[in-house]
Amino acid sequence: MKNATKAAGLRYLTAACLTLTIFASSSLFILAAPGYSSATGEISVSGTAENGVQPTVKVNGEQAVSGRTFVSGGVIETSNTAFANISLGKLGRIGLSPNSVLNLSFTGDTISGNLSAGKITVFSAEGISVNIVTPDNAFLNDKNLKGNFTIDLASGVSAESGILNFANGSLAAQAQTTDDDDDEGGLLLPLAIFAGAVGAAVVYVIINRNDDDEPGFVVSPVR
């Protein structure tokens, strides 16, 4: 009887150890570990519903909705009605337009991607290096500047802020700077107003002085 009890207890202990081992090696447990926090992002999905069903995206070939964790090195694909944003915390975020396919990797200070279809918008924090490869080119940012640039395989690249270069170092896109002529024009208006006010004051003083100098009638006091 005692041997049977010991054998049953040993089976229970073995099963518990196996369960703990499987849980510890699962992706959920790994994602929860502090050392992996910088290598994960969070997906949000938006777009037009089809037949009453909210849009979804594919992550590594599996359907995913908002709130899904994205692990560095994964592939995300949007449908023709879905937009996706991947929040990367302090690194920035990536926006995907419909019909886009992106293989995305990131570390503590680097964002790397391979865009094989569609269009993405990259928002990168200052100090973060960005490297995006397309079928025809590779693009690198100026990591000393905050970046907000779009890479579209159909229409090219553009930058709202920051500087984007080709891999060979030549300029690919740069944010428009404020025109110096506009600045000068903005200064001319307050200067003109000030000059007008001074001129009006001078005219007023001259008129009053002339009035005081003109002879007038003197009335003798009544004796």
Looking at the structure, tell me whether residues 85 and 105 fall in a common domain.
Answer: yes
**Residue 51: inside a domain:** yes
Question: What pLDDT, in 10s, does the model give residues 119-153?
Answer: 999 999 999 999 999 999 999 999 999 999 999 99
**Residue 203: inside a domain:** no
> What's the domain range around 158?
39-174
Question: What pLDDT, in 10s, does the model give residues 35-50?
Answer: 444 489 999 999 988 8
Q: Calculate what percentage of the chain has a pLDDT beyond 70.
A: 62
In this structure, of 85-89, 156-160, 197-201, 209-213, the range with the lowest mean pLDDT score is 209-213
Looking at the structure, tell me whether residues 43 and 144 fall in a common domain.
Answer: yes
pLDDT of res. 28: 42
Looking at the structure, tell me whether residues 67 and 126 fall in a common domain.
Answer: yes
pLDDT of res. 49: 83
**Residue 12: inside a domain:** yes
Give this prediction's pTM: 0.64
Question: What pLDDT, in 10s, does the model give residues 83-116?
Answer: 999 999 999 999 999 999 999 999 999 999 999 9
**Residue 140: inside a domain:** yes
pLDDT of res. 54: 87
pLDDT band at 23 (very low <50, low <70, confident <90, very high): very low
210 vs 52, higher pLDDT: 52
**Residue 153: inside a domain:** yes
Q: Do the bridges between strand 101-106 and strand 40-47 make them parallel or antiparallel, or are there none, so unpaired? A: unpaired
Looking at the structure, tell me whether residues 58 and 150 fall in a common domain.
Answer: yes
**Residue 82: inside a domain:** yes
**Residue 216: inside a domain:** no
pLDDT of res. 204: 56
> At 123, which CATH number?
2.60.120
Looking at the structure, tell me whether residues 65 and 162 fall in a common domain.
Answer: yes
Say how many domains are in the chain: 2
Q: What is the DSSP string of 3-46?
A: HHHHHHHHHHHHHHHHHHHHHHTSHHHHHHSGGGGGGEEEEEEE
Looking at the structure, tell me whether residues 106 and 126 fall in a common domain.
Answer: yes
Residues 40, 72: contact at Cβ < 8 Å?
Answer: yes
77 vs 39, higher pLDDT: 77
Looking at the structure, tell me whether residues 99 and 17 fall in a common domain.
Answer: no
Per-residue exposure over 58-88, b if at least 16 CB sit within 10 Å of its own CB, e if not:
bbeeeebeeebebbbebebbbbebbbbbbeb
Looking at the structure, tell me whether residues 14 and 88 fall in a common domain.
Answer: no
Looking at the structure, tell me whether residues 160 and 64 fall in a common domain.
Answer: yes
- Distance (Å, whole) CA 26 – CA 166: 40
User: Which residues sit opposite 151 in a β-bridge?
Assistant: 120, 157
Question: What pLDDT, in 10s, does the model give residues 3-12?
Answer: 555 555 556 5
Three-class DSSP category at 194: helix
